[in-house]
Amino acid sequence: MDEKKLSKLNDKDALMRRLKRIEGQVKGIQKMLDEERYCVDILVQISAIRSAINKVGTMILENHVKGCVSESLRNGENQSSENMINELIETINKFTK
């Protein structure tokens, strides 16, 4: 596979909408801090952002597995497939930190 990019398995527009929503949530937290809102309320919003960004990451990871990894395993040689699996494991480790 020469070109590695987001495939059509995930709707790019849907991902962008999610990210814009997260951006709005971050701006909301900035406003809450400026207004010196209750710490617990701010922490709840931070938790919501963390959950939302994890969902975006999970969607992109799923796209990677169903697209890039799957294609590599179908079409690749043993060494290429092993490299792709190693890359996947490394990616999952980074994503779940």
Residue 62 inside a domain? The answer is: yes
Binned at pLDDT 50, 70 and 90, residue 84 comes out as confident
Question: Residue 85 corresponds to which amino acid?
Answer: I
How many residues in total does the chain contain? 97
d(CA 94, CA 60): 14
Instruction: Quote the longest CA-to-CA distance of the chain.
Output: 58
Residue 83 inside a domain? The answer is: yes
Residue 6 inside a domain? The answer is: no
pLDDT of residue 8: 61
Binned at pLDDT 50, 70 and 90, residue 18 comes out as very high
- Total domains, the chain: 1
Radius of gyration from C-alpha coordinates of the chain? 18
Per-residue pLDDT of 26-74, as tens digits, reads: 999 999 999 999 999 999 999 999 999 999 999 999 988 888 888 888 8
Pick the closest to residue 47 from 57, 39, 35 (CA basis): 39
pLDDT of residue 69: 85
Residue 56 inside a domain? The answer is: yes
Which residue range(s) make up the domain with 48? Answer: 12-95
pLDDT of residue 2: 44
pLDDT of residue 78: 73
Residue 27 inside a domain? The answer is: yes
Residue 74 inside a domain? The answer is: yes
Q: The domain that contains 80 carries what CATH number?
A: 1.20.58.1000
